[in-house]
Structure 1
């Protein structure tokens, strides 16, 4: 009889336990969870705070009774594994209620400890009213605090996925909400120009954004009421409630004390079978270091989807299904903020630069898709990114996006779906039918010519010079570029047009820039 111990539940550990039982009725499976909830949807926690998910029970994916009755898994909640004896293949677990310790033998051990919320050592960090958002008890504490203090205002520290979801849900409750972010943009995984529309949208909805200004500390409010968030610029933001959601770090203490190898990003190092440096120990979920599917480099990508897949793979390998492998993570994710959707898959431009990949060269040579980002208030933003994500997984190129046959009806979109249009624009570059460049700063003295009269006024276009062409969004600029190229000019279309340039300029706080053109014109 094979004995499998699993440390941690939630996504990776719970998926592993259920998969193990589906593969074997003979295995002895025991799962340890240091909290009281073995499998819950932590992505839904902010929405329970805001009442979008009204019942706490809706957050529970599976409880102890279900694991016992459905899967015959022995679950020990409120029990923390504190040591691993690799030589004897034993773990030591401590009961959180009694403090008593016991040892358990294993043939295979699966580590799924997750990631801990980052809580920096800042002045005043332990004042009452400052909360994290990782567990169901965290939600209870926040809801209780809001009710007891009749909170009217909140500061969310951190502008990532959970930070923005918290901001939205606090606004649902009627709280005057601000977001304080050290970086000059929210949603750090996105490129700056892609989130500038989100900045404008959030401000229009009444959310205050304080960007490029990290937190320096916290103080008690006047008269002992509320809090004051102090930032590095010297600004002070009063609030009745502070949510500290600046990210997570992998829980590797147990693995490190057991002598397991860690990766360069600080997570538990595993192979593509989810094995650690000890062949009898596996690791899954937010604590592990995975391969970035696009760059091939080690990465920490704490997402529930990959964690579930990793748990299944570890179970397959433990039960002898050796070919089962984890291919890596491309980081497909979505967030909804006050009616706007932001979705992405693959690498951002920032990631590609950091990885040292010549993404423009690859882009021109074979049309390989390295990443996709989309922001908008219309329905289906995330579904377009899903299409691109699957195309990437199947080794598709921009030519496949160009030819993709997608559902169409007027109420759902256009006959040329945005996915098709993106593919067409990129395919034109690859084929050499269109030459593009990115924004190159301000363009003083631009020559304005309506597209409808460009052919007649071609003589006004200066010859023998590199021409940078742009319109509002890039389409008329493309048509103008084709005319100019066919007329013998050296012309390139500025990708995304003037609208994207304005977003880019705003996101980088650039100065200057060319004036807006006529609604039907192209600028040279």
Structure 2
């Protein structure tokens, strides 16, 4: 009897989509070799809980962690290499080049199928602005969360400014007021959550203001003042800020995909079909990095919360 040929599946990225796909594939096939390469130091964590950990609504850091690399290996027989960044993909050879970020060594690996789960990165203010602001952060991964948590636990960190009025900005604002911080929310437009209807967005604003979040509409940050401890706004107002969080959105992390020659859609994500296939048949993608046909309209779409 002929042996069933096993496949090697490499997953680039090991957080939400990457870990989910890897564990699902293991359930479907117990023999295939599955490897995750994750450039950061953590896998499979609940990113949606991070704002609430910052404000001590979620009290234990362990509650955010879903599957550590060791758990993925022991429970699901998935090999995980953290702090390993995939630098290039050669689709002709089914080969990837990986950099071990701790040892600064390069490795080569091969695949039968590859899954792009690189996610998205935070949009930041221009360096000409951020260089003038002390203690400015984004919240995109566990490393960001840990840095913010350390700063927030400093008793001198009392006044918090959040730039951006999407989901992450509002969740952090609400969470930190529960923790007794003085929070100011800077909104570029005339209301929060532009993805919502105006009446619903207004209800959200009312809840925030009732929880003592100060909201300033129609402004942007121009520069930092007083050694970065003050922010000058586009309306000439100046506000004190011990810590500033930028939460102005995310963009798909497509640099590797572009280098590989994968088709990029009109919204900026990797173009996939209804089977999550990219323009290269044995490379698949999903999550925040992709653009896909909307289920109803069939128009290009992506869903990203930031």
Given the two structures, how large is their TM-score scaled by the length of structure 2?
A: 0.94
One of 31, 40, 43 as aligned partner of 2:45: 40
- Answering whether residue 168 of structure 2 is matched by residue 162 of structure 1, we say yes
| Alpha-carbon RMSD | 1.6
User: What are the residue-to-residue correspondences of 1:380-399 with 2, within 5 Å?
Assistant: none
Counterparts in 2 of 1:144 and 1:17: CA distance versus 1, 3 Å: same
In structure 1, the residue matched to 2:112 is 107
One of 2, 9, 18 as aligned partner of 1:13: 18
In structure 2, the residue matched to 1:57 is 62
Q: CA deviation at 1:122?
A: 4.7
In structure 2, the residue matched to 1:247 is 249
Counterparts in 2 of 1:294 and 1:215: CA distance versus 1, 3 Å: farther
Q: CA deviation at 1:88?
A: 0.4
Counterparts in 2 of 1:204 and 1:38: CA distance versus 1, 3 Å: closer
Segment drifting more, 266-275 vs 126-135: 126-135
Secondary structure of the corresponding residue to residue 200 of structure 1 = helix
- Answering whether residue 258 of structure 2 is matched by residue 256 of structure 1, we say yes
User: What are the residue-to-residue correspondences of 1:457-476 with 2, within 5 Å?
Assistant: none
Counterparts in 2 of 1:248 and 1:292: CA distance versus 1, 3 Å: same
One of 20, 25, 35 as aligned partner of 2:30: 25
Alpha-carbon distance between aligned partners in 1 of 2:223 and 2:290, rounded to the nearest angstrom: 31
Which protein is bigger by CA-based radius of gyration?
1
Secondary structure of the corresponding residue to residue 53 of structure 2 = helix
Secondary structure of the corresponding residue to residue 39 of structure 1 = coil
C-alpha offsets along residues 199-240 of structure 1, whole Å, 9 cap, x if unaligned? 233223321111121222333x3xx4x622222222222111
In structure 2, the residue matched to 1:142 is 148
Q: CA deviation at 1:252?
A: 0.1
Q: CA deviation at 1:269?
A: 0.2
One of 299, 303, 321 as aligned partner of 2:301: 299
Alpha-carbon distance between aligned partners in 1 of 2:152 and 2:125, rounded to the nearest angstrom: 24
In structure 1, the residue matched to 2:87 is 82
The 8 Å contact of residues 194 and 201 in structure 2, kept in 1 or not, is answered as no
In structure 2, the residue matched to 1:172 is 178
Alpha-carbon distance between aligned partners in 1 of 2:159 and 2:44, rounded to the nearest angstrom: 32
One of 116, 120, 123 as aligned partner of 1:118: 123
One of 64, 70, 73 as aligned partner of 2:75: 70
Q: CA deviation at 1:288?
A: 0.3
**Structure with the higher fraction of residues in helix conformation:** 1
Alpha-carbon distance between aligned partners in 2 of 1:159 and 1:115, rounded to the nearest angstrom: 18
In structure 1, the residue matched to 2:157 is 151
User: What are the residue-to-residue correspondences of 1:53-452 with 2, within 5 Å?
Assistant: 53-126=58-131, 127-148=133-154, 150-219=156-225, 221=226, 224=227, 227-302=229-304
Counterparts in 2 of 1:240 and 1:193: CA distance versus 1, 3 Å: same
C-alpha offsets along residues 320-348 of structure 1, whole Å, 9 cap, x if unaligned? xxxxxxxxxxxxxxx9xxxxxxxxxxxxx
Secondary structure of the corresponding residue to residue 217 of structure 1 = strand
The 8 Å contact of residues 182 and 215 in structure 1, kept in 2 or not, is answered as no
The 8 Å contact of residues 273 and 293 in structure 2, kept in 1 or not, is answered as no
**Structure 1 unaligned runs (5+)?**
304-334, 336-524
Q: CA deviation at 1:55?
A: 0.9
The 8 Å contact of residues 122 and 217 in structure 1, kept in 2 or not, is answered as no
The 8 Å contact of residues 174 and 211 in structure 2, kept in 1 or not, is answered as no
C-alpha offsets along residues 256-297 of structure 1, whole Å, 9 cap, x if unaligned? 011110000000000000000000100011000123334332
The 8 Å contact of residues 41 and 61 in structure 1, kept in 2 or not, is answered as yes
Secondary structure of the corresponding residue to residue 57 of structure 2 = coil
**Structure 2 unaligned runs (5+)?**
1-5
Q: Which has the higher contact order (CA 8 A, sep 6+)?
A: 2
Q: CA deviation at 1:183?
A: 1.4
Aligned length: 300
